Amino acid sequence: MTTQDPGASKALLRHQLAESRLQTDAVFDIVRPDALYERPIEERHRIIFYLGHLEAFDWNMVCGTSFDLKPLHPEFERLFAFGIDPVEGNLPDDKASDWPPVEGVRRYNLQVREAVDQCLNKADLSTSDQPYVKNGLIFWIAIEHRLMHLETLSYMLHWLPLEMKRGLNRPAPDSQSGPAPRQTRVPAGQARLGAYRENGSTFGWDNEFEGHSVNVPEFAIDVYKVSNGEFLEFLQAGGYEERSLWSGDAWNWLCASGIRHPKFWLKRGTEWWYRAMFGEIPLPLSWPVYVSHAEASAYACWRQKSLPTEAEFHRAAAGQETYGNFGLRGWDPAPVHSNESARSASGVVEMVGNGWEWTSSAFSPFPGFERLPFYPGYSADFFDNKHFVLKGASPRTASRLVRPSFRNWFQPHYPYIYSGFRCIRR
């Protein structure tokens, strides 16, 4: 991401940095002050970690790596350096009292913002005098890292008890039914994956390179994302009890967790309800179902279909020109057919927006992958066949991240995220 005019690039970076800070500040403001040490998702750090993490990351990357400044607060720069993604049930067991007082974290954050701004002011984006500053690379890393956390914070706070949140009201109940499910054919052809380093100025994370093409045979794909109503049929048919629909790992996870419905659903008497970000409403049957990879895979198996591979997703999504439901438009999804004009060339509706979509592809490096030298574990730590690729975008995905080469990934048994799916038949 660059322009020929370094001044213009710097102005764009300043603007995006300031805007992304306002956006993450607004998300933290949802948390009532006495809830900042809560842990809404047991596999993740407490909220206070993320309050320190965004700035400590910026300090470590921009001020430390590129501008070689001495540590501002060595303890914070270690404590808040990296998040966690425990596999195989090793949950964190730290206590709230293990974390520093919030006032100190907020003071630190203000100091870091000033220091990062000063680095940007004196940066020469046209040269390589300071490492990773050319074309604004390290600043884009900071901005996009913050925007990715904008979404992970959003879904994390989704699971904070309602009484610990402030701000918006619960959404209006939505009783419309979903569209009749149907599929459309995607002809055989080449899928273009990833981004090309070419002139060295294209911004992308390490896992987006190198761009390449893949031959994809013809297949048929659902025109709409799978809705809550369709998934309810799976549940009512006993899908969660049918061992043959689940992989061994997924079945063990079901048995151990006791999960018997999508995390976003809850039962009141005989009625299904939906837990939206700011309140509960009767289950909106036309909204996309948000589920884990394991649940999406079991549903696809039940319909005698499959999840698309990453390459198949690209083939089906190519040419979606109209904007979908992303870019922080709201907090909750809309009916799967509410954005009919957001169609790909193959006639598939809203593959980008209204919820990420699971693929059957394990997260793995593209040919020509090279780690980011200043953040070697960003992707490579997750090339473990225990994470799957998601594509598209959710309502809480910043517009800047919505590009065809962007790849998201999560463990298959992680039910908290804004991730839906659709099925294919080969």
The contact set with Fe ion (CB under 5 A) reads: 83
In the complex, least distance from residue 148 CB atom to Fe ion, rounded to whole angstroms: 7
Residue 22: left (phi > 0), alpha (psi -120 to 50), or beta?
alpha
Give the residue from 251, 202, 194, 257 showing the smallest Cα distance to 389.
194
Cβ at position 152, least distance to Fe ion in Å: 8
Give least dist CB 34 to Fe ion, A. 25
To which residue do tokens 């198949």 refer?
312
Buried-exposed string 331-344: b where 16+ CB fall within 10 A, e elsewhere: bbbbbbbbbeebbb
Among residues 43 and 280, whose Cβ is nearest to Fe ion? 43
Task: Decide if 206 contacts 371 (C-beta within 8 A).
Answer: yes
Nearest distance in Å: CB 143, Fe ion: 13
Give 83 or 330: the residue with its C-beta nearer to Fe ion.
Answer: 83
Task: State in angstroms the smallest separation of the CB of 372 from Fe ion.
Answer: 13
Q: Starting at the edge strand that comes first in sequence, how are the strands of the sheet with 408-410 ordered? A: 408-410, 388-393, 355-362, 419-420
Bridge-based pairing state of the strands 388-393 and 424-425: unpaired
> Please, which residue, 76 or 313, has the CB nearer to Fe ion?
76
Show the 3-state SS of 47-92.
HHHHHHHHHHHHHHHHHHHHCCCCCCCHHHHHHCCCCCCCCCCCCC
* Nearer of residues 219 and 382 to Fe ion, judged by Cβ: 382
Q: How does strand 424-425 pair with strand 279-282?
A: unpaired
**Nearest CB to Fe ion, comparing residues 83 and 377:** 83
Least distance from Fe ion to the Cβ atom of residue 318, Å: 31
Q: 64 or 173: whose CB is closer to Fe ion?
A: 64
Choose between 25 and 218: whose C-beta lies nearer to Fe ion. Answer: 25
User: What's the CA gap between 363 and 385, in Å, rounded?
Assistant: 7
d(CA 410, CA 145): 16
Whose Cβ is closer to Fe ion: residue 61's or residue 348's? 61
Q: Is 309 helix (H, G, I), strand (E, B) or coil?
A: coil
Q: Which two tokens stand for residue 145?
A: 């890292």
Taking the C-alpha atoms of residue 413 and residue 386, their distance in angstroms, rounded to an integer, is 10
At closest approach, how far in Å is the CB of 161 from Fe ion?
Answer: 24
The nearest distance, CB 149 to Fe ion, in angstroms, is 6
